Structure 1
Amino acid sequence: MAVNYDAAPILKVEGLKQYFKVSKKFTVKAVDDVSFEIYPGETYGLVGESGSGKSTIGRSVIRLYDPTAGKITFDGTDISGRLSSKDNEMLRTQMQMIFQDPMASLNPRKRIGDIISEGLDIHHTCSSHAERDKKVKAILEKVGLSPEHATRYPHQFSGGQRQRVGIARALIMDPKLIIADECISALDVSIQAQVVNLMKDIQQETGAAYLFIAHDLSMVKYISDRIGVLHLGHLLETGTTEEIFSHPIHPYTRSLLSAIPAPNPVVEKQRKAETYDYKTSGIDYNKGTSHHVGGKHYVKCTDEEFARWQ
């Protein structure tokens, strides 16, 4: 499904900051001045090393954290400040999250059917018990599970099946945006492919947008329409998948892409991984501004660095 970039974005994040005060003298700046937008039906991939602030952005957007500063607009509504009960209900139904660890995010004391239908019960979207059961069975079949699985408990499933339960729980509310927080990193490679293909199929059917947070660059390349590269809480480069992979500008992006192993042994022997160390690079992320490379491609750097890297 082609993404219409002329339409209004479903999610717009402007100058998001998320700080955590550890002590009187020390504050962790987990996310520092990040801006991006996601359009209806688009998959926006967020990549970066561990500790770069990817999951924090996802949790701030869905308001599990209160943002320190910045503005988050979802479907035309400002959700960055104090939420009214009406805005809160809209957010909880129209935006859903698939968590990284499926076992930690599923209540071990509840049956799968009750876990999946919890959103329906809270928001009273079903008029009868029969309608609720019908919706649960339909969503289980959609994610590749059997309707009989509704009576089982989470410990009776494999990792891949538990992740499908997590996807079903997110989908049953028919959301406009799904935040997938490294939802495939804990799975086997063959299961990863199944889950990602399932997510792509569901997107074709429902037209939902994804914020896809991941480490695996090859998987991000496969599923994403646009990619944002995050490091130390700063969004360094963003662009379409083709722009980022064929013409990376920032040294950190280049080092990430150069680390991808090639499946061809002849090419792999020739591959040279670039090294990047922020401390010795002489780059100051706080001084950088957004520069337009072309198309949807932007890089955050100073004017001198932009002229040098082009």
Structure 2
Amino acid sequence: MNEKPILDVRNLKQHFKINKKFTVKAVDEVSFKIYPGETYGLVGESGSGKSTIGRSIIRLYKPTSGEVVFDDVLISGNLSKETTNHLRTKMQMIFQDPMASLNPRKKVMDIIAQGLDNYKLYTNERDREEKVYKILEKVGLSGEHAKRYPHQFSGGQRQRIGIARALIMNPSLIIADEAISALDVSIQAQVVNLMKEIQEETKITYLFIAHDLSMVKYISDRIGVLHLGHLVETGTKNEIFNNPIHPYTKSLLSAIPEPNPIAVRNSVSMHYDYAASGIDYTKGTLHCVSGEHYVLSTEEEFKKWK
């Protein structure tokens, strides 16, 4: 792509020191780019570092090292007030558990308008209310819902409120951290379709973090595969699903449930054991397979896999 990325993550590390002898390397030397108007999917098993990356980018965690450039602004070091304001208004997050991320003591009107209140993004009380009503309508809710509390909604409705809270700031980038995993399958489809409709209308950019490969394939333009804090493979969704290179990616794809009983009978599930594989992520570098398709490996491994 010749277009300039809206988000450029370079050699991001997020380590958590447990005690003097032990440090958890949750994210280690991860690099990727997201371009304006696209959806970049991050997939991997639980504990692979997906959510940690999202939280490091939006600065819920301070990165151990590496650089994160958002809208041509470096947001990974010590933040000035101006940079913090830019980050807080132009980047938003949708959290995994909608009930835990919504203040149970506040009405929906005040929950959604919190960003507007913090940055005084309205002229008067009426303007504030109109902005909330408009965004509620956009996510499939009505104005009367603004007077209720979070516990009065279903899980899908609560997630729509979370989406509305992110959208009202008119951000350039939304990080959706497992935004559909706590919802019923039918509701998942509704929420993902809503996100796609909003993207078509507003040209917003998504970092979509999930472990459901089928849903990631449906919504994403490009995909990054994480394992043990390392980005082992990245590429367009067609490159990842039609031509997986890394053995971990192949094992993930082989585990996708197949609705056809005949195909299931003939399918072979691949087992990948990092400890027994002889692969050392720390010695590998990202090798270009073709176009946007990269795989983390040593020179010898890359020649063998390709």
For 1:7 and 1:134, locate their aligned partners in 2 and report how far apart those are by CA, in whole Å. 36
Aligned partner of 2:305 in structure 1 is: 309
Kindly state the Cα deviation for residue 131 of structure 1 after the two structures are TM-superposed: 0.4
> 1:187 pairs with 164, 177, 183, which one?
183
User: Match of 2:287?
Assistant: 291
1:30-73 CA-to-partner distances (Å, cap 9, x unmatched) read 00000001000010000000000000000000001000000000
Partner residue, 2:24: 28
1:218-268 residue CA offsets vs partner (Å, 9 max, x unmatched): 000000000000000000000000000000000000000000111111111
Write the letter of the residue equivalent to 1:49: E
Tell me how far apart the structure 2 counterparts of residues 254 and 110 of structure 1 sit (CA, whole Å).
46
- 2:59 corresponds to: 63
Q: Which amino acid aligns with 1:267?
A: A
Aligned counterpart in structure 2 of residue 271 of structure 1, from 267, 273, 276: 267
5+ residue gaps, structure 2, are none
Distance 2:258 2:15 in 1: 38
| Mapped partners of 2:21, 2:260: distance in 1 | 51
Q: CA RMSD in A?
A: 0.5
Is the partner of 2:300 in helix, strand or coil?
A: helix
1:280 aligns with 2:248: no
Aligned to 1:87: 83
- Structure 1 partner of 2:3: 7
1:188, CA displacement in angstroms?
A: 0.3
In 2, distance between residues paired with 1:290 and 1:154? 44
TM-score (normalizing by structure 2)? 0.99
Give the aligned residue type for 1:90.
Answer: H
Show the 5 A alignment for 1:55-204: 55-204=51-200
Secondary structure of 2:59's match? coil
Aligned residue among 188, 194, 201 for 1:205: 201
Identity within the alignment, %: 71
- Post-superposition Cα deviations, 1:124-170, rounded to whole Å, max 9, x if no partner, equal 01010000000000000000011100000000000000000000000
The SS at the match of 1:59 is helix
Structure 1 length normalisation: TM-score?
0.98
Give how far 1:105 is off.
Answer: 0.3
Provide structure 1 residue ranges, at least 5 long, that are not aligned to the other structure: none
| Paired letter, 2:236 | T
Deviations for 1:82-114, whole angstroms, at most 9, x for unmatched residues?
Answer: 111011000000000000000000000000010
Detail structure 1 runs of 4+ shifted over 2 Å in the superposition: none
